[in-house]
Amino acid sequence: MGILDAYRNESEMAEGYGFQVRVWFPFSILVGSIVGTVMALFYIFIFFLASVFDSVFPLVRVLLGGTIVIGLVLLKIEKPKQNGISYVIKKKHQDREISPSVARNKFLSSGIALGTGLPMGKEGPALIMGSGITSWLARLVKIPKDMRSKAMTLGSAASTGALFQAPFGSAVFAAEVPYKEDADEPMMMGAFLASVTSAVIAKTIVEMVNKTWFPVSFTYFVIPEPATLEVTIFTSILALVFGAIVGLMGRGFIRFYYLYTDRVEKFDDIPRLLIGLLVALLSLGIGLFLLRDALFIPHISFYSQILFFITNANNQLIFTMIGILLLQIVATTAVIGSGFPGGIFGPSLTVGGLAGIIFALLLPNSTIGTIAAWSIVGMSASHTATTKTPIASVLLILEITGLPNLVIPIVLANLSSYAFSGSDSLYKGQITSRNVKILSELSKFDKKEFFKVKEVMTPKENVVSVNADDLVSNVLHRLISSGKRDFPVLKGNEVIGMVNLQILKKASPQSLVAQCSSPPVFIGADMNGKKAIFQMLEEDVERAPVVDENRHLLGIVSIGDIVRGISEK
């Protein structure tokens, strides 16, 4: 008997109080128990590999780990396109499940990558594993197919809650991360329950192992003494200023990541991974060189760097810290952007933590306590800037560090960091509230597969198009008078691009239209509306040309056309 057999009509399927308590709560406990167990094993696996390779020179260790991961790619065990939180977000928005085999393979590949010291975080593979396990459990207990993507929120919360022992922040993070301006509120309570259950189960297992034969601890971040920062008007203003600095730094991180991924995506998997590994090795090598006069850190982990600079903070180390900060951004971008199986949580905390130490050293009368405090504030602000999850960032850092007295400066820094970091995120799969409303409309469309794009598109005879070889000066007036914004670019009968009116207005009058166009997102006339709108949202376009198999223009369709078509059906 399935978990939903008690429900007899669609009205009872609403995500209200009754549904939460009777369905999602029991399922959340199940998810938390299974995912917590797997995350404990994953943590032990990473720690075991780190201890095995502890005596190996850091660059050799990273080279070995990267080479093994590349070997797993050649064996088709690891697939670079199935990496990161953006992969989970994309699957969730497309109402698609993550295969348990993907979760299993990620356990091996990301465990090796993290255990050998590649410069990346744990949250990406953790969410993939948690979501894959939850997808399997959802099928096992007969959760309806159209609701399984919602269940992935529970797996995401459980996996990070167990791995970082931060259940409340992890629950908010799982609900907040899929959207830049919204949250998956209906699943929030279930996410809290799954995350707390998973954290308790994982910690219990690890402590049991601690008492037997394997010394492992979930201690995430240990400060040398209590972090102290008196909350006054002055420190509040400083927090806002610091948040702005970290936000701008986060914006630079994001822009660099996008630039790198745009440059390397033209390469096949293996060359791209090799490029990423070489860049990471070079960055880590320079980092070790910078640290030669300070301290040789055998295992150049994120948190050992921060702890060293807190306990040895002095103005002579500022330039070394700036160098390590920039190298962290480069190394993490190289491995994550190239497709290695990891996340950006840990590296983003390192960047923010180092920024906080540097900021504190520039202030008068800084103590170890205030330096540690600004470092922790910087971690939260940096995570906010790079992931656009301000609420979760506050909770995660407070739980991880156990320092609730820093709530006010962290909140202020996060608000400022969020404002100054721009609208983009390192998680490319995030969507905006506008798209959430569109996807909400699509939920009414699940049973209307007969609805085709050709039923709502603007037909070819009513489309304003432009020839690729036309000069901008010759077509601009006609396009402006059309009242449209986007126009198909034709070469003969074939669509070769799309051009936007605002771009044409800024272009040289003697430029060819083709030089101002961008690659089109092709939509088929017989494609159903749901598939078409997902494709357009994924490619971030408002309008797309509708073409035949030869890419000859049949019409043009917009997101608004499809949404209106749905409401009329």
- Tell the CATH superfamily of the 437-568 domain: CBS-domain (3.10.580.10)
Instruction: Report the alpha-carbon distance of residue 177 to residue 387 in Å, rounded.
Output: 7
Contact between 342 and 319 (Cβ < 8 Å) = no
CA 7 to chain centre: 35
Residue 23 Cα distances to 14, 27, 143, 156, angstroms: 11, 6, 9, 18
Mean pLDDT per block of 10 residues along the chain (569 residues) reads: 35 46 82 94 89 85 94 92 84 80 93 91 91 92 78 90 85 79 68 86 85 60 68 91 95 93 90 94 87 52 71 83 92 93 88 93 89 91 90 84 68 74 72 58 54 86 90 88 87 90 86 89 87 79 89 89 68
Residue 406, CA atoms < 13 Å, CB-side half-sphere: 32
pLDDT computed for residue 92 by the predictor: 79
Domain ranges in the chain are: 10-210, 233-420, 437-568
Q: Do domains 10-210 and 437-568 have the same CATH topology?
A: no
Instruction: Report the alpha-carbon distance of residue 40 to residue 216 in Å, rounded.
Output: 10
Nearest-5° angle of CA 62, CA 68, CA 72? 140
- Tell the CATH superfamily of the 10-210 domain: Clc chloride channel (1.10.3080.10)
CATH no., domain 233-420: 1.10.3080.10
